[in-house]
Structure 1
């Protein structure tokens, strides 16, 4: 027997059938468990707040002295403190 392809390669037909089966299975699971998914959405929103705070505020007040704010944020020039007369 002389095969032109490796035994582990999927044919395009097998790959298409697998993808179609996966999409249908995921759609049925999502439909059957929509109550559970919708019930957890408010908690995911509450959990997203501290996670966004941690990951999106990186670089503010870093050790280098430069601020890495997003585009459009204005940086105020650094003014040295005035010496007090004693």
Structure 2
């Protein structure tokens, strides 16, 4: 029996080389433009607030309906 186990592209020699080059390039770009990057951080923080509200609000019962999940359905008058 011959098992062909394919490793992911990121773990191949080419993938590791690309990741290494991308890290080196990111270091030099950030090193030369760190004032621009740090100047944008407050705006990214402000942008994160409404995005977190939009994408993380699905766990609530909704704005108009507060549900008590400790009581069974029959006690809440739903059945």
Q: TM-score, normalised by structure 2?
A: 0.53
Q: TM-score, normalised by structure 1?
A: 0.49
Considering only aligned residues, what root-mean-square deviation do their CA atoms show, in Å? 3.1
Gaps of 5+ in 2: 1-12
| Corresponding residue pairs, total | 59
Gaps of 5+ in 1: 1-11, 68-73, 81-86
Structure number having the greater helix percentage: 2
Give the direction of change, closer, same or farther, for the CA distance of 1:79–1:20 in structure 2 (3 Å limit).
closer
- Which of the pair has more CA radius of gyration? 1
Give the direction of change, closer, same or farther, for the CA distance of 1:18–1:47 in structure 2 (3 Å limit).
closer
